[in-house]
A and B are shown apart, each in its own frame.
Chain A
Amino acid sequence: MAFLLTINDVVARTGARACKFTIPGKELVDGVQVTEASISEVARSRYMVLSLPKKFGQFIRVLPDMSSKSFRHGQDARRFVGSLLRSPAEVLAENNFVVVDLQQPFSKLDVFIDVNTDHPSLIAVIDAQDSQGGSRAMTRPAKIPPVKLRVDVVMIDDNKRPSSSSVEIDLLLMPMRNMSVYGGYTAIDFGNTSTALVLSDANSRDQFELVPADSRQPGAVAKPVQTALRITSIRPPTAARGFYQYESVIGSSALDETDAGWLVLGAKRLLSDRKADDAREETVVLGDTVCRVPAEDPAEVYISKMLQGMFFHRQSRPQSIAVTCPTTFTVSEVARLKRTVARAFHRATGGAAENFRPEKVDAVVPLVIDEASAAAFYFAYRDFIVGPGQMPAFRYLYPNGLHMLLYDCGGGTTDLALVRIEARGAGQVDIHVLGRAGHRQFGGDFITWQVFRLLKAKLAALKSQTPEFPRTPGKIAEYLKANQSAIDKAVPTTFDLSQQQNDDAKQRRQATLGLWRLAESLKVRLSASGVREVKPTESDTGESESHLVARVIKLVGAPDGMEPGDVAEAISLTRQELDVLVDPEIDKTIEYANDLIRSCMDALVADCERTGREPPLEVPEVDRVYVVGNASRYPRIRERLLDPEKGLNVRYVEDRLADVRSEDLKNSVAKGAVVALRMRDMDMAVQVSWDTEFMLKLPFDMVGESLAQAGDSVLFQRGERYSKNLQAWREIAPDARSGQPTTQKIRLDRRWPGETVAEPYVLFQFEEPVAGRFVIRYDEEREAFVMHPDRKHGEDEMLAIAEPFEQSPYLAPPQSGRI
């Protein structure tokens, strides 16, 4: 009976399954000419040939766990087998081979066996089996006989006499079925910076699982996936209206390879803001080749990759998907997002493009919610809808509705939203986003960066290359600014991003990374309750801080006469030192939050005035404050928010600050969407309606840039409706000397609520330089901003449709080379 290797988890379309096996020596030989004893001796020449029928070799790959110099495969192996075993041509043609050079004695063989479950041949086998069982057999294991792996061992002794052995090993692929339908609820939080795919099993109401969708390693640590797609190759469709096929990576890996392929970043960009009929295509440049692909393909491919991540980790596919989107999405973008997710699902599950039915969109994506509403809903659900007394209690407690402030301090940014939740009748909850704001530069990375700056400065001071580090925390910011160059000279961590191969740049990059990890570790310890000061320590688990200090010292040079241990002992960091650097930015977020509260509450009062509704005796106030996001663990944030003088302008703020469990600090947006889907599907006697009004209005100010007279003039104000009335005029001056037009590109910037600085938003690009009076307006039919001369037939004469501005990719501080 042949030796049996069982490969589990072979489920169609769930990615590559890799298993490692150890085959004992006695199972590798037949014991006739070559015995177990003879392979344990040194041989003059000994080879093992592993043969797998080609029809299986398309999706099964067998590779020995040894140096690549010790074995050969592919054509090289085939040629070798032809000469060594003198196998007939048809045998050579029908099999795949791996030839292992085994001169040294061996007693076992370690092999990796990969099964590509996405391969059409494997899928065809499974589908064929399924089709026999009809539709009910979609997830039934297929009865497939084991695949025969033939093992030939050929030895040539000192007298050049050959001896050989031939055995077969059975590879049993299990369970060889199609994916089952996931019994729980699935949501994708499609964010501008990162995207999360969250699952919740049907029977565990409070359990949520984040899928490491960009990883194909079983048991990978789950975290949201960076909203970035890198396309490395494109194959046009084989049939009319078929899918383009892409090779691509998503997430942080997409940013790793800085040269290869075509990078697309951000939810908005992925869904392409260009909507004109003549711009239904996206340009992708791969090397010297310019490809024109359907405009929605990047988003579709990104989401299908996310879904394939779920297929890999859960071996099941969602029945339907709730999707969240940035609160800045417009109605048309939401519609496009729904369609894109539905198509991505169709693509990921192997459907043909021509079979995609638009009418299925609502079934696949029954729910799209903006992220602020989703997070608010999650907490409303957790604290009220399933909390003590449930909905009747909520109505009793908040007869005039509840105002919730969400303060979400994430990795890169802090987002603020003020949401109103109102129970209308016993079974109806209305959720309205009253306003949103945010601080684009403050988050966990900023805090780590300040720790990094302190460590770097203290190291430099130890090296006596900078003035003494100030003892008064109040002077630290000034000290760091004044001595920035000297500090970097003593502890070089800035580098030129383009210098990939330069040794000095490499060394600096490594020093930055080491110091950053040390900063992260110290920040986490400083965030613990009651801790006022930390020093690098040894650690039983994970990477030791002392070790990191040693590594950095090795790269940047040790202070005179000091061993790494002395340096670790000499460096300490206090909360006070860090707080003075972080406070100004926290205070900014509070300022933005207070502005948001004031404007929203005033608007509620004005609304009563306007409609003539009798205002309730209750003064409109924020009733609950939810501080979420991983970075909010840093205690200073809470301290500042609660500060009576400079904190949140929320009366009784300590009473109104909600308890947020550690596991709820992250991913509340995706959880909200999952819960909403659960509520929709399960009859929970409560209906939720979402505010869609904000989708009809500009979420930011639009300001002019690079226009002849424009400084930071506001062209369109936040809150204005997307309509044909959204129009502004600008005079574009010709060159002062020549009088000739010189301006060909005009950029508009956007300024988010609370921000003082605008960021590039859209670009109007004319075919030739222009001058004169131009109109910039929102075109309802194109659903885009357009610009054209302000004269008769100006639109027909020359029209530029706003293109999304290409943003440089977001790089985490240690990757930026600037810290």
Chain B
Amino acid sequence: MPRLDPSRCTLLRDEQLVGRYNAVNEVLDEATRELPRFADREVVAEVRGELSRLADVMTKKRFFIGFIGPSQVGKSATVCNLLSVDEENAPTPQGSSGPTTSVPTRTVPKPPAPGAENSISLHYFSEAEFLSRVRDICDLVKIRSDDGLPQIREAAMLKQQENPHFKAADMEVLLKLIDAAIAFPEVLEKEGRVEQGVWKDRRIYATHQNTPSKYTLLREVSIEFVTDSVSPEVEMIDLPGIDVDKGSDARLTLAFLQDLDGAFMFQQGQQVKSAAIAKLAERMRDFHGRTLGERIWMVITRCDALNELQTQGPRDRDDQPTMFCHLAELMKQQGIKGGNVHFVGNEYYHQRLKEGLTETQQASDSLANRYPTVLQFDADGAPVIPERCVRNEGQVAPWKQFVLNGGIPALRETMQTKVADSVREQTRREITRRLVGVIDRLTGALQAAEQQSGMTVEEMMRAARWSGELDRLGDEIGRDSKYSQHAATAITTMLGEVIGNWGTPTRGGLAENHQNLAGMLAHAGLHEAADQTAKVVKLVKTELEKRSQSQPPPKATGLPTPVEHWSTVAASFLDPGKTADGLPFRGPIFDGIREDSNPVTEGGQQMGADDYLAVMRSKVGRVARVFVSRLVHEMQGHIHRLQQRYRAVGSEIDHIDADQRELYARYRTALDRLRP
């Protein structure tokens, strides 16, 4: 693999990561040169593919950030305010009565400089792209697409006559596309024509026009826009909404999502809907996995038009959801980071500008009277946060920003710095994670080969047999109640005694006494859980010893026997109550007795003492079971990891470079050192 030049990875701003990537590549190249049999292992080809894909991500020039939302949501107005330009000078045209953006429009921010001007370039479909687009719409409107354009046109016309309402908008797009292609055949070139556009005509390029023109054949429009309001590392891609009545637009947007590094998803305050967001997020998740949550920002527009019901809920129904609840739920469902939200009121922002208020000045009385539901201030002039907003961590600061100045300055700040930084951070995280995955796979294979290199075939076969033995034991630990039921019962019984000795609380004092009892139970449970852990861990050790006697485990330098392995993991992880990642689990689980939502004070019900004690008994039983199940899960994990190691030692026997233990070890150590 060629070495990555850090100067090609400017966007990443992480020379260390680039260096680590190159180092992994170098170790791999050397190892495969020196260890020809190892080079034939499947894993080597697989990690080379992954490294190549990583190189593509690392050499990107700009982050692509999508601006997505339904039509008429106020997306364009927000962009205008964001860039501090009026409608006339906005890079993308503003909608008034229908969906505006029909062609994806890329806006590349260009820092202001003498002579710097806005420019626009038009990218037309290539022949193949055009046909693909036509086929896609044909599929949507159920017309066969394997004919020539005139035949498709004829079929579309016929279908339109038969049923004028059937996917009318999409049918119109299809016909215009075909008409345009017939009228302007020269536009469709093999490689896709690119030409400079005229700045003032940009609205014509990017929106659905009534008659077919050559611009109907545009694949996308790219704009260089002079501004310092947006980070030059970010390319804003304005995409058609997916809930307009044009399925063809929705398809365009969904197809674009795989190229996006992040997105601003626009929703109107009055209609926070999850379905469209879910559809978009699901598609993006395929490409970004767990880092997606910090790559998406929700922009809630028209917050200045919210009514009391939407912000406070009905006065007499505490359980009725408000806009804040819908939003929190939506973000939770999609794993979007809590604070990644902006509340925006474009009209309020405009009014502020009209009144000449700076971004730090408090709203005037007239504005407060104009938007009485949302602009509320306390005696000190600080914004009053709706109670339902307070319930959702991460919404408070954005709401304050909105009340103070319409939310636009905060959004601008996000665009200027946070988006690029956050996406950069997530990209680094993702690359690091994937690079660690490469290192894991290689070191695992090297370790196995190293092990195999000094072993006899007999020992390797023994490892393979023990791999099966460990597999069975792992299943038994999960299924046999002796590893779980006794421990759970012992903890429950002991904590039941604590509850019994605590006595019967007085009816009025439950709320205060709950913390006292819960604290005692958490403390006592933790101790008992430690004792039970030791017993269960010992049970497994005894089982391993017994099986080792009937079937001796493989012996090889550096390869622990099952009992040795177990002693190590017991001391390092299980006895102290830690997961394989080193995170504590015993403490947090028992802390739940004290920290989970208070059963006495929540909801305001009057609970009797007997009911309270019954609930606490159920709780300790449940916590005991949750704990023991986790313990069993961890034990199975440790057994499974050893089983995997034995399995690796027992397989690929033909791909071992004999007597090369030291070389294998060297490369393995070299890779281990490259872990972050």
Contacts and interface: CB of A to CB of B under 8 A. Distances in A.
B616 to A, nearest CB: 9
A311 B541 CA distance: 69
A792 B138 CA distance: 12
Which of B592, B607, B622 is the most central at the interface, judged by chain A CB atoms within 10 Å of its CB? B622
Contact of B592 (A393, A399, A652, A655): A399
Contacts of A613: 335
A427 B291 contact: no
B597 interface: yes
Interface in B140-187: 142, 144, 146-147
Interface string A370-396: 000000000000000000111111011
Interface stretch (A355-363, A535-543, A617-625): A617-625
A612 B318 contact: no
Interface in A378-437: 388-393, 395-399, 424-428
Interface stretch (B57-65, B480-488, B493-501): B480-488
B625 A651 contact: yes
Interface stretch (B36-44, B525-533, B598-606): B598-606
Interface string B68-105: 00000000000000000000000000000000000000
Contact of B599 (A393, A424, A621): A393
A397 B518 CA distance: 13
A28 B323 CA distance: 78
Given A389-B611, A392-B597, A618-B626, A652 B488 contact: yes
A218 B320 CA distance: 45
Interface of A is mostly: loop
A398 B615 CA distance: 11
B615 A396 contact: yes
A235 interface: no
A399 B597 contact: yes
Given A651-B484, A686-B319, A392 B334 contact: no
B319 A685 contact: yes
Contacts of B625: 651-652, 655
B592 A392 contact: no
Interface in A518-534: none
B290 interface: yes
A686 B629 CA distance: 31
B143 to A, nearest CB: 10
Contact of B615 (A388, A652, A685): A388
A617 B611 contact: no
Contacts of B589: 617-618
B289 A652 contact: no
Which of A390, A609, A611, A687 is the most central at the interface, judged by chain B CB atoms within 10 Å of its CB? A611
A611 B603 contact: no
Contacts of B272: none
A686 B622 CA distance: 24
Interface in A593-640: 609-613, 617-619, 621, 623
B488 A792 contact: no
Contacts of A793: 144
B479 interface: yes
B630 interface: yes
B597 A612 contact: no
B603 A396 contact: no
Given A611-B335, A652-B484, A397 B479 contact: no
Given A651-B484, A685-B319, A686-B319, A612 B599 contact: no
Interface in B213-230: none
Interface residues of B, number: 53
Interface string B512-555: 00000000000000000000000000000000000000000000
A391 B147 CA distance: 62
A687 B289 CA distance: 33
B135 to A, nearest CB: 14
Contacts of B458: none
A201 B236 CA distance: 61
A644 interface: yes
A340 interface: no
A610 B289 contact: yes
A51 interface: no
A395 B144 contact: no
B633 interface: yes
B621 interface: yes
Contacts of B329: 424
A617 B577 CA distance: 12
A611 B334 contact: yes
Nearest to A652: B625
A617 to B, nearest CB: 5
B319 A392 contact: no
Given A397-B619, A687-B319, A392 B585 contact: no
B193 interface: no
A792 B615 contact: no
B248 to A, nearest CB: 14
B335 A612 contact: yes
Interface residues of A, number: 37
A397 B618 contact: yes
Contact of B611 (A388, A610, A611, A795): A388
Interface in B577-631: 585, 588-589, 592, 596-603, 605, 607, 610-612, 614-615, 618-619, 621-622, 625-626, 629-630
Nearest to B586: A617
Interface of B is mostly: helix
A652 B492 CA distance: 12
Contact of B605 (A390, A399, A644, A795): A390
A391 B615 CA distance: 11
A427 B317 CA distance: 10
A425 B602 CA distance: 10
A649 interface: yes
Contacts of A390: 603, 605, 607
Contacts of A619: 626, 629-630, 632-633
Which of B334, B626, B633 is the most central at the interface, judged by chain A CB atoms within 10 Å of its CB? B626
Contacts of B603: 390-392, 426-427, 685
A612 B629 CA distance: 23
Contact of B289 (A391, A426, A612, A795): A612
A609 B319 CA distance: 31
B483 to A, nearest CB: 10
B568 to A, nearest CB: 23
B465 interface: no
B292 interface: yes
B285 A610 contact: yes
Interface string A783-819: 0000000001101000000000000000000000000
A612 B293 contact: yes
A605 to B, nearest CB: 11
Contacts of A397: 599, 615, 618-619, 622
B58 to A, nearest CB: 21
A363 to B, nearest CB: 21
A617 B600 CA distance: 24
Contacts of A396: 596-599, 602, 615, 619
Nearest to B391: A425
A36 B665 CA distance: 123
A390 B598 CA distance: 12
Nearest to A649: B479
A621 B632 CA distance: 12
Interface string B324-341: 010001000011000000
B319 A617 contact: no
6 contacts: A389-B612, A395-B599, A424-B329, A425-B325, A612-B293, A617-B589
Interface of B: 142, 144, 146-147, 285, 289-293, 318-321, 325, 329, 334-335, 479-481, 484-485, 488, 585, 588-589, 592, 596-603, 605, 607, 610-612, 614-615, 618-619, 621-622, 625-626, 629-630, 632-633
Query: 5 smallest A-B Cβ distances: which pairs?
Result: A612-B290, A427-B319, A388-B611, A396-B599, A392-B602
Given A388-B611, A644-B481, 9 more contacts: A388-B612, A390-B607, A395-B599, A399-B597, A425-B319, A611-B292, A618-B629, A618-B630, A652-B484
